[in-house]
Structure 1
């Protein structure tokens, strides 16, 4: 009887260990999250991949452009708000959305995205056009233009189709560029505490354009993100050097947004 008990306990322990190992290997790797102080507690910044990031603040969770498969979000709280910037598959990813617990989330999107979302999300959608604002769940979400230069009807990102966003979270202004170049609207931003700025040719802008745009609006902290282009990863070290040579006060935070090759 004693031997049977010990054998059962050993098998149970092995099963738990095997289960833990399986969970560890199936969950997507992530870089460590950052925390930024606000008037209503810390803002947690969790890079996911490419243009995807998750914010946790004041008991709320915000997913930005959820993409890359639901496994990338394993262990994170279900979103209360989802922001989608554009119609391209690295921003609007119905397969990833379908694998996430989004039933209680508000989806803040431009009209072009709303038109392509599955009808199951219709009641959750809030459409914002460039220049519009939504106050919800104690935060403010403003839609900012994002587009290619020179402006053209056949551009990959024409003006007015997609949204960048500025979030006000506990007195901190957080800018998400979406797919853009260093447009006048970005350069004119004021009071941005944290910025996420893209740099991947031929879709958005090169490293120098991104640096010059950032030097124009002077965010307190800037994260280069969305920096994989046709020829691989952009030189974010060069971006940091260019920015900090001209302005040492801007905190350029380099994080690995591509922990797993896709």
Structure 2
């Protein structure tokens, strides 16, 4: 009896000392969008980070917010990074993810800041360049602040927005930008991810007017946390859909941990 009590006490002590299991970070539910080569799955992560899965490939866009935010998701085949700022190029998050076999598509400024261990995986795209890889296309689109200025937070040519061609669908990822002529001139965009956070990018109305100019089939407002808190995405949706009911504005919770 005595030995049984001693064993029970020992097991209880071990259980008390064991580290608690970290619960996976909350995430908004994923969407699926039909393409000619199967569904495109859209998994919001946080802020400007999203995971796209299509045709057996997984694409991480601006992985940020800690590796736990990606728990349970497949390792990436492609990592897209738009800019050098820490909410896009997050070295700590990258180091905690299984990115060792991923192709990293980045602008030159990002490539210069990546650790040497990633050098063999990096493909640099400059504004206006395009890459065909893994059955998809990736085009680099200018992203920058207006009016253009050398001391702007986002100068023209440093960062990339991207347009992905996936099974007949064109997916636009704005990165940090304002409603530049290049964005307004986009054609044939089926799915768009558009930022709106002051003072870094656009306000709600500016983002809405930019979207109304290039008319995507579906638009997700993302990257909408600014110095004043979260932007009014409901107002964005109302402005867009009042002017053009054909645009499907999809509001998703990109900041679940803050709720």
**Equivalence for 1:80:** 77
CA distance in 2, matches of 1:184, 1:256: 29
How many corresponding residue pairs? 245
Structure 1 equivalent of residue 7 of structure 2: none
Q: 1:52 aligns with which of 31, 49, 52?
A: 49
Is 1:258 aligned with 2:255?
yes
The residue that corresponds to 1:65 in the other structure is 62
User: Normalised by the size of structure 2, how large is the TM-score?
Assistant: 0.92
Do structure 1's residue 39 and structure 2's residue 39 form an aligned pair? no
Tell me what 2:236 maps to. Answer: 239
3-state DSSP class of the match of 1:195? strand
Query: For structure 2, which runs of at least 5 residues remain unmatched after alignment?
Result: 5-10
Partner of 2:124: 127
Runs of 4+ in 1 over 2 A off after TM superposition: none
Q: Which runs of 5 or more structure 1 residues have no equivalent in the other structure? A: 5-10
Q: Does 1:29 align with 2:60?
A: no
- How far apart are 1:261 and its partner, in Å? 2.5
- 1:29 and 1:260 map into 2 onto residues whose CA distance is 6
Deviation digits for residues 64-97 of structure 1 (CA, Å, limit 9, x no counterpart): 0000000000000000000000000000001000
CA deviation map 1:179-236 (0-9, x unaligned): 0000000000000000000000000010000000000000000000000000000000
What is the Cα deviation at residue 26 of structure 1? 2.0
Distance 2:187 2:198 in 1: 26
Equivalent position of 2:8 in the other structure: none
Q: Is the counterpart of residue 141 in structure 1 residue 138 in structure 2?
A: yes
Counting only pairs closer than 5 Å after superposition, residues 78-227 of structure 1 correspond to structure 2 as 78-227=75-224
**TM-score, normalised by the number of residues in structure 1:** 0.91
